[in-house]
Structure 1
Amino acid sequence: MAAGAQAMGGGPLARLLILAILHVNFVALGLEPDFLYPLENVTIAQGRDAMFTCVVNNLGGYRVSGDSATARVAWIKADTKAILAIHEHVITNNARLSVTHNDYNTWTLNIRGVKREDRGQYMCQVNTDPMKMQTAFLEVVIPPDIVYEETSGDMMVPEGGSAKLVCKARGYPPPKIVWRREDGGDIISRGGPQGKTKVTSLEGEIVNLTKVTRSEMGAYLCIAANGVPPSVSKRIMLHVHFHPLVQVPNQLVGAPTGTDVTLQCHVEASPKAINYWTRENGEMIISNEKYHMSEINRSAYSVQMKLVIRNIQRSDLGGYKCISKNSIGDAEGNIRLYEMELPNRKSGDEDDRDISSEESNDVRSGLQGPLREGGPRAEDAGFLGGGGPLAGSAPHTAPHAIFLISAFALAAC
């Protein structure tokens, strides 16, 4: 037989001839149909396509006992005992089902767009006597989905109050709910048996927050997952309301006239506040060539106020106020601006000129007073510490000597 197949080139015609010979042999030997491979369980996401493959040997030519018909392969929904298909013909009224016979011994049940109700036990059956069959289970999984009508939306609570966050999800298997803060901060639990606890994530459909503080304000993420991608989440914004708080880093600011200076205030408020600057007499400040105002957001409830005053003059000195107002209350901070004098430093040339002037004044003052005519007397040389005439002395010592001699003579009189 192998030689014959080789003689025919080993092509499709040769393989058909071999199958026909085997079929005749099986019929002659009276072999019963048998399953070549077990039917495998299938797990599929809802909406995808599923299929079961049943491989039966020795089916062709087998006669059903007491009947001239050959054996057939049937597909049955075992849990409902509903016949789905016989051989290649679909019996049930379901357009999503089809059966293909890909080879002489392989039958495939195809289910398009699987639904949750398709879940269950499926049977591949051969009507031998006794009947032969094998079964497999179709598991239909469903990705998680947030039930928005039963899930909390954005909420507002007063500082010190309580908040209950609820998140519901559906899917199969049932999803697990995990809570996290969007900014990575801690979720704070109070009042439990362990007192105040902080965690980065919390499992469960409900989160109870008590004695809420402004630091707990922000976005909370409810994440639902059941192992079937994709996971889903919902963002719930928690707003904590409180009256404004103003902090002034520097309440006394000094700057020289003619320069620019920046005044700063830190404001915390929720809901968002209206912030502005005034002079101490209540005059509101507006942005112009003289003043520049700006705000920098530090967090959901924190703002840094800045006021730049250009080219300070004496009229700009005095008190300034940063004021914050929201629907709950208001607050203000006070800053006093004073003139700072720079030290008056003289240049090196000016210092040299001052020193020379002082020396010349000292010389001129030394030259004032009555002077004797002629040179110094010999007896005066001893008073000056010399041993003889002043010949050879430095020229600049003569005026001082004359002044001292004159002063001595006046004292003697």
Structure 2
Amino acid sequence: MADDLVGWIVLSLTILRKGAFALEPSFDVPVINITVVVGKTAILPCSVEFLGEHKVVWTDEFSTLLTFDINRIIDDDRIGIDRPYNKDWNLIIHDVRVKDRGRYICQINTHPIKTKPVELNVLVPPQILNENDDGSRREILSKEGETVNVICNVSGIPPPSVKWYRRPLEDTLGSKKERIVSELDRPKDRQREPCIYTVHDEPGIGMEGEILVIHNVSRYCDGIYQCVASNDVPPAVEMETAVFVEFQPEVNLINKRISQEKGKETILLCEITAFPQALSYWMYHGQEVVSSERFKVDIYPEGKAHTITLSLRITNISEIDFGEYECFASNKLGRDRESMVLNELRKMKVNKQTTPAVVPPTTRSRQIVGLVATYRPTHARDEGESYKGLVKDFQQVENGCQSLNEKRTITAITLFFALLLTSYQFLNQGGLPTIELVLQGFKMSSIRSSVHPKDLNQPWGTILKPEYGLGHQKMTDYEIDQTVDRLYKIPATKERVYERPGKKMTEEEIAEMLQRLTKAPVEKIPDSDRRVTKSTYNEMGVVSSYAWKGYN
């Protein structure tokens, strides 16, 4: 019995050694694709279970033998086997190139052969092909009206997209850079493009493409055009192209007329926009003005592109310097000129004498009675009429004095009788004078006026020099506010509500009115047959009228 057990053990060991019950090798990692950026290291995985005495081989899509077991067969030191674990047979490729992309196959020499494919994808960042070798920007020179093609050839995997931007020539920092978009994609708060752009002859799909076409180019289309290429593989690349547009000069004068006194100094300014800038100068009486002791010509650039300012400084101006000056500019495309006039400025003689004014009164509830006496000869009136006029005048003074305080009343009456007694002294000279009394009321203000007397207690009638001259009265802050409010406020318009007078017409009245209005008119008798010979209206100038006869 013991001999049989030993025999079974020996037989089992023999079978196991011969591989009768050995497991077949297999791949434990599913099929995957590997993506790597050019220049990096790629690892293609391949893990095998129960390899036993079998061997692992790597080949490419053209069946080129790369490795056998752990040995490299191909003559490329960038390729090798990476085995972090015993079951791993990974293919490693250093410094991946574009030509390395494709399918790689991991094989086991079983019968039949077992294989596992791995796809290697290589990404390439965008690259501009027509860029200058030194990295400087390209330049394009054109004339107004021509068509300009701005080219930006790019390559990369996947194919990159190209977007266009534009900024002014004077913007060196790129702070005013704007993306060029089609009219359909233009934001509402952005102005229209000064130029017409197309890409691939399709202006409505957005400004993305390798060739930007500028149609009918003008001076407003010049600038620095920047193309930016990207394909989600960093870094993005860009290239700048400067577009210069030639055009004839334009002369613009800041002032068309200027005045200055003799012996003084003045500066004439002229703004010239042109490309290229060629010839610019000032002319006077058909001759070019050159720099001298009294004349100095300067040129300095402006902040705008292709714009300069031509200045002419004239010192110690004399009589011969007044007249018309011309600013002239020209280049190979044309010329332009503008003229301005330098006039003599004469000082006006100012009359410093001002009419004196009376110290204005104040607005308190006080009235002053002014008495004016005039004398007429005795033959104008008799004594009775003079006496009646004298009594009447006295009553006017008495009535006017009733509204005054006691002090002013006594003063006015005293003044009246003084004048009365004075007039009777002329009786021996041939007659009784007639006295006319004139009451004059003056409203007096407690607010100081524009005269500003130093002492408010000065006698009435003091003559002072006005501060603001004749015709001016300084307004107070309150008066200014009231005037502004009155002028600023728009008066509200009142809506007129129309109401038909009388009661509503009945249907019978409406029918009767229609019949009367639609009835054929009776032939009217001419006015010559209706002339009114006797009438109460003749005094009013009415001779013949339908209205007075009742026909209308």
TM-score range, shorter chain: 0.5 to 0.7
Which position in structure 2 is the counterpart of 1:172? Answer: 157
Matched ranges for 1:255-294 at <5 A: 255=260, 261-286=266-291, 291=296, 293-294=298-299
Aligned-partner residue type, residue 333 of structure 2? I
Which of 53, 57, 60 aligns to 2:49? It is 57
Which position in structure 2 is the counterpart of 1:336? Answer: 341
Report the Cα offset of residue 299 of structure 1: 3.6
Matched ranges for 1:140-151 at <5 A: 140-148=122-130
Residue 287 of structure 2 is aligned to residue 295 of structure 1? no
Report the Cα offset of residue 208 of structure 1: 3.5
Which of 56, 81, 84 aligns to 1:73? It is 56
Change (3 A) 1:33 1:304: farther
Moved more, 242-251 or 252-261: 252-261
Matched ranges for 1:26-37 at <5 A: 30-37=22-29
TM-score, with structure 1 as normaliser: 0.65
Which of 99, 102, 108 aligns to 1:120? It is 102
TM-score, with structure 2 as normaliser: 0.50
Matched ranges for 1:216-227 at <5 A: 216-227=221-232
Which position in structure 2 is the counterpart of 1:90? Answer: 72
- 2-side partners of 1:35 and 1:90: how far apart? 21
Contact in 1 for aligned 2:326/2:339 (Cα 8 Å): yes
Which position in structure 2 is the counterpart of 1:40? Answer: 32
Report the Cα offset of residue 121 of structure 1: 0.4
Which position in structure 2 is the counterpart of 1:99? Answer: 81
Task: Flag the structure with more relative contact order, 1 or 2, with Cα contacts below 8 A and sequence separation at least 6.
Answer: 1
Aligned-partner residue type, residue 113 of structure 1? D
Which position in structure 1 is the counterpart of 2:465? Answer: none
Which of 211, 219, 223 aligns to 2:216? It is 211
Change (3 A) 1:96 1:355: same
Equivalenced residues, count: 328
Change (3 A) 1:342 1:71: farther
Aligned-partner residue type, residue 221 of structure 2? E
Matched ranges for 1:11-26 at <5 A: none
Aligned-partner residue type, residue 148 of structure 2? A
Contact in 2 for aligned 1:39/1:54 (Cα 8 Å): no
Larger of the two Rg values belongs to structure? 2
Aligned-partner residue type, residue 50 of structure 2? N
Contact in 2 for aligned 1:178/1:224 (Cα 8 Å): yes
RMSD: 4.1
Report the Cα offset of residue 128 of structure 1: 2.8
Contact in 2 for aligned 1:179/1:203 (Cα 8 Å): yes
Q: Unaligned regions of 5+ residues in structure 1, if any?
A: 1-23, 63-69, 357-375, 388-413
Q: Unaligned regions of 5+ residues in structure 2, if any?
A: 1-15, 169-177, 181-192, 358-422, 438-552
Residue 262 of structure 2 is aligned to residue 251 of structure 1? no
Contact in 2 for aligned 1:181/1:200 (Cα 8 Å): no
Contact in 2 for aligned 1:287/1:293 (Cα 8 Å): no
Contact in 2 for aligned 1:292/1:309 (Cα 8 Å): no
Query: Per residue, is there more strand in 1 or in 2?
Result: 1
Contact in 2 for aligned 1:180/1:202 (Cα 8 Å): no
Contact in 2 for aligned 1:246/1:324 (Cα 8 Å): yes
Q: Per the alignment, in what secondary structure is the counterpart of residue 54 of structure 1? A: coil
- 1-side partners of 2:432 and 2:296: how far apart? 78
| Identity over aligned pairs, percent | 28
Contact in 1 for aligned 2:294/2:316 (Cα 8 Å): no
Which position in structure 2 is the counterpart of 1:240? Answer: 245
Report the Cα offset of residue 298 of structure 1: 4.2
Which position in structure 2 is the counterpart of 1:159? Answer: 144
Contact in 1 for aligned 2:164/2:225 (Cα 8 Å): yes
Change (3 A) 1:334 1:30: same
Q: Per the alignment, in what secondary structure is the counterpart of residue 226 of structure 2? A: strand
Which position in structure 1 is the counterpart of 2:512? Answer: none
